[in-house]
Amino acid sequence: MSEKYSAKEAASKLEISPATLSKYVMALEGAGFRFETGKRNARMFDDKELATIRRMMETAVSESMPPGQAANLMGQNAFFSIIDSRLCALEEQQAYLLKLHTDLAEKIARLPVQRIPDYSPPPFLSFPLRKAGFLRFLSK
């Protein structure tokens, strides 16, 4: 289990002030990232979250953009990554289903063909039924 850091500890690990960390966290939360909270609703950070914040800071510096825009860019990239992974999973499932369909079609084709003889009704069914009672009287 990874270690959890308070906001003050996380800021010192990232070598920024707690106020700057708070701004970065709010920018990331606005882009869709979620951070765990501890007692009294204080944010708690693990190593993965610190890496996300560090990556946002590096993106902001390398792309010469404010941290909020860098956070939005990271959020869009994360969203597209999720969509891409789900599409890949769907394509794998589709390929599996097509293989199952092909295998089933081959098995059905190998089944022996059973001929059903032509059906002709027995002779007693071919005679017209006689009308009974009152209906016979009306048909005269």
Residue range 72-130, pLDDT digits in tens: 888 887 778 888 888 889 899 998 998 999 998 888 888 887 776 776 766 666 656 56
Model confidence at 45: pLDDT above 80: yes
> What's the angle, vertex CA 68, arms to CA 65 and CA 69, rounded to 5?
50
- What domains appear along the chain, each with residue ranges and CATH number? 7-79 (1.10.1660)
Report the Cα 35 to chain-centroid distance in Å: 22
From 65, 68, 57, select the one nearest 26 (Cα to Cα).
68
Report whether 28 contacts 18 (CB < 8 A): no
Please give the residue that has the higher pLDDT: either 38 or 83: 83
Report whether 44 contacts 6 (CB < 8 A): yes
Kindly state the average pLDDT of the residues 33-52.
83
Phi, psi at 36, each rounded to 5°: -75, 145
Q: pTM of the predicted model, to two decimals?
A: 0.54
Kindly state the average pLDDT of the residues 40-44.
82
Residue range 19-33, pLDDT digits in tens: 888 888 888 888 888
- Token pair for 62: 């390398």
